[in-house]
């Protein structure tokens, strides 16, 4: 048993190390700024925290580009309203799986966008670009005056003073603009790479079907290609060119204020081309996410394509992909919801999370971790990982009340939903927990909604047996060991092992005897609950 906990601690430690290698602030950048109103549901941060979305993403991610990372993360956070051209996507996945040359060449192209600068590409079509200040025409005038003064210098030596005066003013404006330039020094050169990658991928007839109008977007982006090449040169100068060459070019740019003039000229044009930039981004991101799904399936021992239809859930040998050697379970949910009983660590919460994770991956990636699964197209809400909000002086119970209140509101939607709850209202006393829990759980099942809930309160099982199918997880306890089999069993939990576990862990004998006596009194209703 101690060894099992040690394995869990080591797993958590290495998971945290892995998280550090992913910059989720940048990965989420595209998702946080995109308009996802066309989705059936955007998964909340609360639900993603409950279902360990970051860890799930790291497990699923096989993308080769930063664009693919952002696109795949956004895909996971959005449940679509329909199959979203799924037949074509499956055809592409199959071709990428079977055609080694195509897969290798595609991954090689995508890897050209694997630098962190590519994370900022989305800002070119999601954020308004900087506008020049009202006095900006002065910059153009000074640029022209610099040229004229240099032309006149051979004819009048005294023009050197004019040249120096203009240069000093231009020097100030040049370095004023540096902070503006640095905002785009990463993203604009990456846009040139994105365009080239998209063009190369679009040469494949099958991949080109993802966006038949992509060539039109490429032509529009090409209108500013030459100007954008200046930014690519600027980025290379900082690492590849000799310092003396950099200094000469910096002198020329300062003298004629090339940087601010080109920067604001390009930004003005890019403002009118945001849709075309997004087209390229989504085209490349979709291909990278599809090749990631293909790799995921190839590396998975057990997976299936979900059947998305009806309003019931039928899962055979479903398991949680993040748990090594996870015990698979089967369940059929039709007309009724599911209430789980069982002791701590027996598998209740893991099973609930398994259902949630498979619904997400099934509806977003068309991939589930089961022998077979049928699920409806529905929304997903959860109340699994709740904690005190000390900064806002909110207790655990109050946080739980607010979370479940939101669920009650969501349950009234015309769209079918699934609600995942772990130990409802465990922050309050027994009598009111059971009473409020029963009322809430009955309410949530309206409108064909499905509820998966775990509880230690056997009384809830008796009260809800007309609306909920009852299941339980159990363990075997002897004088020396606790044995969990993590298998889902029909019916409510009959045996109670909590006091046995206290005895197993060396609690005093008189304490154990008193606990057994009180337990028997409560069970025979001699002591009111």
pLDDT tens track for 10-58: 444 444 445 557 999 999 999 999 998 899 999 999 999 999 999 999 9
Which segments in the chain show pLDDT lower than 70? Answer: 1-20, 226-246, 387-395, 477-480, 494-497, 522-529
pLDDT at 8: 41
Cβ burial of 155 (10 Å; 0-12, 13-18, 19+) is: exposed
Q: Which helix (H) or strand (E) holds 471?
A: strand 468-472
Q: What is the pLDDT of residue 245?
A: 66
- Which pLDDT score, from 0 to 100, does residue 527 have? 39
Cα 329 from Cα 315, distance rounded (Å): 8
Q: Fold for domain 302-495? A: Rossmann fold (3.40.50)
Q: What is the three-class DSSP state of 250?
A: helix
Query: Helix (H, G, I), strand (E, B), or coil: what is residue 107?
Result: helix
* CB of 136 closer than 8 Å to CB of 265: no
Beta pairing partners, 468 = 337
Model pLDDT, residue 397:
76
Token representation of residue 357: 């994770």
pLDDT of res. 229:
65
pLDDT of residue 290: 97
Token pair of 112, please?
A: 């050209």
At residue 489, the pLDDT reads 92
Residue 119: what pLDDT? 95
**Cross-strand bridge partners of residue 315:** 331, 373
Integer Cα distance of 388 and 400 in angstroms? 9
At residue 387, the pLDDT reads 62
Alpha-carbon distance 100 to 105, whole Å? 9
Write out the residue limits of the CATH 3.40.50.300 domain(s) in the chain.
302-495
Nearest to residue 183, comparing CAs of 269, 281, 263, 240? 263
Instruction: Compute the Cα dihedral for 391, 393, 395, 399 and give only its sign.
Output: negative
What is the CB neighbour count within 10 angstroms for residue 464?
22
pLDDT the model gives residue 270: 82
């Amino acid at each position: 048993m101690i060894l099992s906990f040690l394995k869990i601690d080591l797993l958590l430690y290495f998971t945290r190390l892995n998280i550090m290698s992913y910059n989720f602030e940048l990965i989420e950048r595209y998702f946080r700024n995109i308009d996802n109103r066309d989705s059936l549901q955007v998964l909340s941060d609360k639900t993603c925290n409950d279902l360990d979305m970051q860890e799930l993403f790291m497990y699923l991610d096989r993308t080769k580009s930063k664009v693919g990372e952002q696109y795949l993360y956004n895909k996971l956070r959005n449940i679509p309203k329909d199959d979203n051209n799924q037949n074509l996507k499956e055809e592409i996945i199959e071709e990428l799986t079977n055609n080694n040359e195509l897969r290798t060449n595609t991954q090689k192209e995508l890897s050209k966008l694997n630098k962190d600068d590519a994370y900022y590409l989305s800002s070119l079509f999601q954020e308004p670009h900087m506008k020049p200040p009202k006095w900006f025409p002065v910059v153009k005038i000074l640029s022209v005056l610099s040229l004229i003064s240099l032309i006149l210098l051979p004819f009048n030596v005294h023009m050197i003073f004019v040249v120096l005066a203009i240069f000093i003013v231009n020097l100030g404006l040049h370095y004023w603009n540096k902070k503006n330039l640095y905002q785009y020094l990463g993203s604009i050169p990456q846009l040139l790479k994105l365009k080239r990658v998209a063009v190369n991928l679009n040469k494949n007839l099958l991949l080109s079907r993802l966006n038949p109008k992509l060539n039109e977007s490429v032509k529009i982006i090409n209108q500013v290609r030459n100007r954008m090449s200046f930014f690519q040169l600027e980025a290379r100068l900082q690492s590849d060119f000799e310092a003396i060459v950099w200094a000469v070019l910096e002198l020329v740019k300062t003298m004629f204020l090339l940087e601010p003039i080109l920067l604001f000229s390009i930004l003005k044009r890019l403002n009118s081309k945001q849709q075309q930039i997004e087209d390229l981004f989504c085209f490349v991101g979709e291909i990278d996410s599809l090749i990631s799904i293909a790799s995921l399936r190839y590396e998975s021992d057990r997976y299936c394509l979900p059947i998305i239809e009806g309003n019931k859930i039928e899962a055979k040998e479903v398991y949680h992909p993040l748990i090594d050697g996870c015990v698979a379970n089967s369940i059929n949910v039709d007309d009724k919801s599911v209430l789980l009983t069982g002791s701590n660590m027996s598998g209740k919460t893991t099973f609930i999370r398994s259902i949630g994770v498979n619904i997400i991956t099934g509806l977003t990636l068309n991939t589930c971790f089961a022998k077979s699964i049928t699920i409806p197209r529905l929304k997903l809400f959860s109340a699994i990982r709740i904690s005190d909000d000390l900064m806002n002086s909110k207790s655990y119970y109050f946080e739980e009340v607010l979370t479940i209140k939101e669920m009650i509101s969501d349950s009234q939607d015309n769209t079918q939903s699934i609600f995942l709850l772990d130990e409802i209202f465990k922050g309050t006393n027994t009598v009111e927990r059971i009473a409020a829990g029963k009322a809430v759980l009955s309410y949530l099942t309206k409108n064909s909604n499905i509820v998966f809930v775990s509880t230690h309160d056997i009384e809830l099982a008796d009260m809800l047996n007309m609306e909920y199918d009852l299941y339980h997880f159990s363990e075997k306890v002897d004088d020396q060991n606790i044995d969990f089999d993590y298998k889902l069993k029909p019916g409510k939990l009959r045996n109670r092992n909590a006091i046995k576990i206290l005895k197993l862990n060396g609690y005093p004998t008189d304490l154990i005897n008193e606990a057994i006596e009180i337990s028997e009194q409560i069970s025979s209703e001699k002591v009111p609950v």
